[in-house]
C-alpha cells in the first residue's frame, strides 16, 4: 500500500458549515477530521509543533560543518531580513491555517473564523503532521484577522507566492551535423564540468527517484516517460517551458541520436505540477498551498531528491516542511534566484536546503545569480541547453538550471547506494577542498566525489 493511500486524505469543506465566527461549526468540522483522519501510527514519527513565532522566519546559526549537514541550533538566533516586495504579494483575503496534532494525536478544535471567512479546501499533510486549510474571506483582512480564534500550537500564515527562477531563455541554433550519439552534446559544457560521462560508467542514477516540483513538463522526444503526479484531481496541468527545461537538464535520454543528454538519464523523474505558466515565457507562478501539497506528493512517491527551481519569501510552513523532508532523509535542492542580491531567498536560504547559485562556463558567478545564504554552492547555470515543448531545444540561463544540474549530480551519487547523508557530506567536502582559495564554492567533478564514497571511475 502506498504512502498516499495510507496517510493522505483530502477534505473539502462545504461553505455553509465553515463560514463566519461560529467556533462550534468549525470545531465540528475539525473534529470530523480528527475522527476520520490518520492516526499517529499512519505517519512518520513527528511530535506536535512548538508554538509558531509571529516574527519572520528564524534560522539558527550553523554549528555543523558548512554544507555537509544542515545547521543545528546553537543558541544564537538571528532573524533574516524579509525579501523584496517584487517577489509577488500573497493573494488578498487568503490565509493558510495549519493545525498540527497534539501530543495525544488529536487536532485542536478551538478555532474561530472572521465574518465572511470560510475554509475553501483542506488536506492532511503527512510531512507537516498537520491539517492545512486554505481560508478565504474579505479582501481587506490580513491572514491573522481571517482566523482571530487560534489554538496556541496552530498557525496562520500568508498563502505566499513563489516564482520559478529562470532568467533568460533563447532558442537553440540548428544542431551541428551528427558526429556522435547526441548531436547537441558538444554544446553541453555542464556535463564536461561535472565529469558526467566518466561518472556514468559507475551510475546513471537508476533506482533513484527525483521529484520535480515545477510546471508540468511536455512530452518530448528526448525525455524519458515522466510520470506527472497531480496534487489534486481535475484537468491536466498546463504544460510549462520551465518544467520542460528542468526535466531535460536532469534526465534527457542519452545516446538516442537526438538532442542532448541529461545529467542522470537513468533517474526516475516524477513531475509534480505546483506552478502555473504565465503566458509564453518560462516564468511560472506557484502558490504556497500548492507547493506544500506538492511536497507531500513528493514524499508519497518515495522521492529521494526534490528539485525546487523556484524562489519567494520566507514562510514558517515552508521552513517546517523543508526541515521535515531533511528529517525523513530527502535531499532538497533549490535555486538561489536571479536578482543579483545577497538578501536571502527561500527555500534556498533554509539551512536544511541545498541552495544553488549559477556560474558560467569559465566558472565565474552569473551576474544575475543571488548570493549569500541562498547560494551554498555554485553550479553550471549559464547558457544551459535543454528541452522545450515541441520537441525543440533552447539555451537557459539562471539558477533554475544550476539547481537542476545539482539534483542530477546527487541522483548519480545516490545511484551508488550511498545514503543521502553520505552523499551530501562527500559532495560538500570535495567542493570545499577543490574550491579552496577561490571566490566561489563550485560543484566538483563527480568522479572525485565518488572517490570519497569509495568508488573509482573508469579511466
The residue from 7, 122, 182, 214 that is catalytic is 214
H or E element, residue 427? helix 420-434
DSSP letter (8 states) at residue 393: E
Contact criterion met (CB below 8 Å) for 27 and 136: no
Q: Give, as one character, the DSSP assignment of residue 114.
A: P
Task: Indicate if the pLDDT at residue 452 is higher than 90.
Answer: yes
Q: Which of 400, 407, 411, 445 is catalytic?
A: 400
Q: Which of 118, 242, 290, 321 is catalytic?
A: 242
Q: Verify whether residue 214 is a known catalytic residue.
A: yes
Query: Is 9 in contact with 37 (CB distance < 8 Å)?
Result: yes
Which of residues 110, 132, 159 is at a domain's end?
A: 159
Q: Are residues 233 and 333 in the same domain?
A: yes
Q: Assign residue 312 the CATH number of its domain.
A: 3.40.50.200
Count how many domains the chain has: 2
CB 331 within 8 A of CB 351: no
Residues 126, 47 share a domain: yes
Kindly state whether residues 154 and 173 are assigned to the same domain.
Answer: no
Residue 84 lies in a domain: yes
Cβ neighbours of residue 91 closer than 8 Å, sequence gap 6 or more: 159, 161, 287
390 is a domain residue: yes
400 occurs within a structural domain? yes
Instruction: Give me the residue label for grid cell 523584496.
Output: 84
Express each pLDDT in 268-284 by its tens digit.
Answer: 999 999 999 886 566 79
Question: Are residues 170 and 122 part of one domain?
Answer: no
> For residues 177 and 52, which has the higher predicted lDDT (pLDDT)?
177
Co-location of 21 and 144 in the same domain: yes
Q: What is the pLDDT of residues 66-104, one digit of tens each?
A: 677 665 433 332 333 334 444 557 889 999 999 988 777
The verdict on 363 and 231 lying in the same domain is yes
**Average confidence (pLDDT) over 214-221:** 96
Residue 239 near residue 219, CB atoms below 8 Å: no
* 224 and 107 in a common domain: no
Q: Can you read off the three cell numbers belonging to residue 367?
A: 551576474
Distance CA 342, CA 344 (A): 6
Domain contains 405:
yes
Cell matching residue 447: 568522479
pLDDT, averaged across the chain:
83
151 with 176, same domain? no
Question: By C-alpha distance, which of 266, 267, 206, 263 is closest to 384?
Answer: 263
Q: Are residues 248 and 142 in the same domain?
A: no
Same domain, 214 and 363: yes
Q: What is the pLDDT at residue 107? A: 82
| End-to-end Cα, the chain, rounded Å | 44
| Residue 8 is assigned to a structural domain of this protein | yes
- CA–CA dist 105, 60 (Å, integer): 28
The three cell numbers locating residue 93: 483575503
Residue 326 C-alpha cell reads as 531533511
pLDDT at residue 82 in the model: 39
Instruction: Give the domain range for residue 331.
Output: 163-452
Length of the chain as a residue count = 459
Last residue of a domain, one of 113, 129, 159: 159
- Supply the pLDDT for residue 88: 58
Checking if the pLDDT of 133 tops 90, the result is: yes
SS3 381: coil
DSSP 281: S
Domain-located, residue 48: yes
| pLDDT tens digits, one per residue of 27-62 | 445 544 443 344 333 445 565 555 544 333 333 333
Q: Is the residue at 267 inside a domain?
A: yes
By CB atoms closer than 10 A (0-12, 13-18, 19+), residue 299 is buried
Q: Is residue 457 part of a domain?
A: no
DSSP string for 116-149: T-EEEEEEEETTTTEEEEEEE--TT--HHHH--B
Q: Among 137, 159, 181, which residue terminates a domain?
A: 159
How confident is the model at residue 103, as a pLDDT? 73
Residue 131 and residue 275 in one domain = no
Same domain, 86 and 173: no
| pLDDT at residue number 184 | 93
Amino acid at each position: 500500500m502506498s504512502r498516499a493511500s495510507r496517510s493522505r486524505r483530502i477534505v473539502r469543506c462545504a461553505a455553509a458549515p465553515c463560514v463566519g465566527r461560529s467556533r462550534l461549526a468549525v470545531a465540528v468540522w475539525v473534529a470530523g477530521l480528527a475522527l476520520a483522519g490518520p492516526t499517529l501510527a499512519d505517519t512518520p514519527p513527528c511530535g506536535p509543533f512548538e508554538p509558531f513565532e509571529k516574527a519572520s522566519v528564524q534560522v539558527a546559526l550553523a554549528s555543523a560543518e558548512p554544507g555537509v549537514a544542515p545547521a543545528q541550533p546553537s543558541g544564537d538566533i538571528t532573524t533574516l531580513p524579509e525579501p523584496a516586495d517584487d517577489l509577488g504579494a500573497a493573494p488578498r483575503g487568503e490565509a493558510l491555517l495549519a493545525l498540527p496534532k497534539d501530543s495525544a494525536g488529536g487536532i485542536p478544535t478551538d478555532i474561530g473564523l472572521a465574518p465572511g471567512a470560510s475554509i475553501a479546501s483542506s488536506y492532511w499533510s503527512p510531512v507537516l503532521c498537520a491539517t492545512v486549510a486554505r481560508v478565504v474571506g474579505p479582501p481587506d483582512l490580513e491572514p491573522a484577522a481571517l482566523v482571530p480564534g487560534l489554538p496556541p500550537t496552530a498557525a496562520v500564515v500568508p498563502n505566499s507566492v513563489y516564482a520559478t527562477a529562470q532568467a533568460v531563455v533563447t532558442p537553440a541554433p540548428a544542431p551541428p551535423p551528427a558526429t556522435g550519439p547526441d548531436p547537441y552534446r558538444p554544446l553541453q559544457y555542464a556535463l564536461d564540468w561535472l565529469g558526467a560521462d566518466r561518472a556514468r560508467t559507475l551510475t546513471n542514477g537508476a533506482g533513484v527517484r527525483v521529484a520535480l516540483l515545477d510546471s508540468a513538463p511536455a512530452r518530448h522526444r528526448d525525455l524519458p516517460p515522466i510520470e506527472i503526479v497531480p496534487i489534486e484531481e481535475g484537468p491536466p496541468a498546463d504544460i510549462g517551458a520551465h518544467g520542460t527545461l528542468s526535466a531535460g537538464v536532469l534526465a534527457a535520454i542519452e545516446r538516442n541520436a537526438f538532442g542532448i543528454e541529461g545529467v542522470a538519464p537513468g533517474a526516475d523523474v516524477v513531475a509534480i505540477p505546483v506552478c502555473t505558466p504565465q503566458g509564453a515565457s518560462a516564468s511560472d507562478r506557484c502558490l504556497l498551498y500548492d507547493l506544500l501539497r506538492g511536497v507531500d506528493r513528493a514524499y508519497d512517491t518515495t522521492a529521494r531528491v526534490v528539485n525546487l527551481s523556484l524562489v519567494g519569501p520566507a514562510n514558517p510552513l515552508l521552513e517546517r516542511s523543508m526541515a521535515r523532508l531533511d528529517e525523513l532523509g530527502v535531499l532538497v535542492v533549490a535555486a538561489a534566484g536571479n536578482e543579483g542580491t545577497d538578501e536571502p531567498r527561500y527555500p534556498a536560504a533554509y539551512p536544511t536546503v541545498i541552495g544553488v547559485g549559477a556560474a558560467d562556463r569559465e566558472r565565474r558567478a552569473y551576474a544575475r545569480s543571488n548570493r549569500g545564504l541562498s547560494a551554498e554552492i555554485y553550479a553550471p547555470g549559464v547558457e544551459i541547453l535543454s528541452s522545450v515543448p515541441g520537441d525543440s531545444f533552447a539555451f537557459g540561463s539562471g539558477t533554475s538550471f544550476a539547481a537542476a544540474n545539482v539534483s542530477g549530480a546527487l541522483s548519480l551519487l545516490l545511484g551508488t547506494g550511498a545514503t543521502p547523508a553520505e552523499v551530501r557530506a562527500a559532495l560538500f567536502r570535495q567542493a570545499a577542498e577543490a574550491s579552496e582559495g577561490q571566490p566561489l564554492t563550485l560543484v566538483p567533478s563527480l568522479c572525485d566525489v565518488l572517490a570519497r564514497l569509495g568508488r573509482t571511475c573508469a579511466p
